[in-house]
Amino acid sequence: MNNIYVRNIPKSWSTEDIKKFFSTYGELGSVLVKEPEPANLEKLPEDKRNQILSHKYAFICYKDFDAAKNAVNKAPYFKLTDSTYNKDLEKLSELLSKNSVEQENVYKASTFIVENIENWKNVFNDQNALSSAVEAFRKHMKENDDVYVIKDKVDRLECCQALKRKDRIKKLKHLYEKN
């Protein structure tokens, strides 16, 4: 999994901006940036079509598996323009990594807590609140086949492993059959 797919890249970002952003996770092999073609989106509702057309997408190849994994496990959970949110998320992630949440899930768990736990900032000062929030995250993951879908996708990149078409179809079919 050295190859990742990224969407919702702001149109204002150049290829160099994208390379700079993703090189923070590790050494890049190659980057292919594309813009959606309007002709392929004619059947979509206008608001969805406009949202897609206002962004770019990219295929990014890392030279190292761990760098690609790190990008997929971290980049989608941060907001592009909200540094206060990002600082809180980073602080919460550090706390969770010290409290038995596995490294590949700390940003996912942090986002889950922010989006789903009322008064989530209590976890910084109250061990019971922290334990309860972590337990709620684990329960959610168990009930949803280790999948957490971010509720607030505004101002975020979406990253995942780049799959061949037949593998994507197989994965989606598996997910839909479970639901």
Tens-digit pLDDT profile for residues 67-80: 999 999 999 999 99
Tens-digit pLDDT profile for residues 46-104: 888 888 888 999 999 999 999 999 999 999 999 999 999 999 999 999 999 998 889 88
Is 25 in contact with 75 (CB distance < 8 Å)?
yes
The class of domain 3-77+156-178 in CATH terms is alpha beta
pLDDT at 177 over 60: yes
Domain residue spans in the chain?
3-77+156-178, 83-143
Tens-digit pLDDT profile for residues 144-173: 888 888 998 889 999 988 888 888 788 777
Percent of the chain with pLDDT over 70: 97
Alpha helix stretches (DSSP H) within the chain: 15-23, 46-53, 65-74, 83-97, 106-116, 127-143, 165-178
Tell me the sheet residues that pair with 30. 61
pLDDT at 179 over 70: no
Percent of the chain with pLDDT over 90: 66
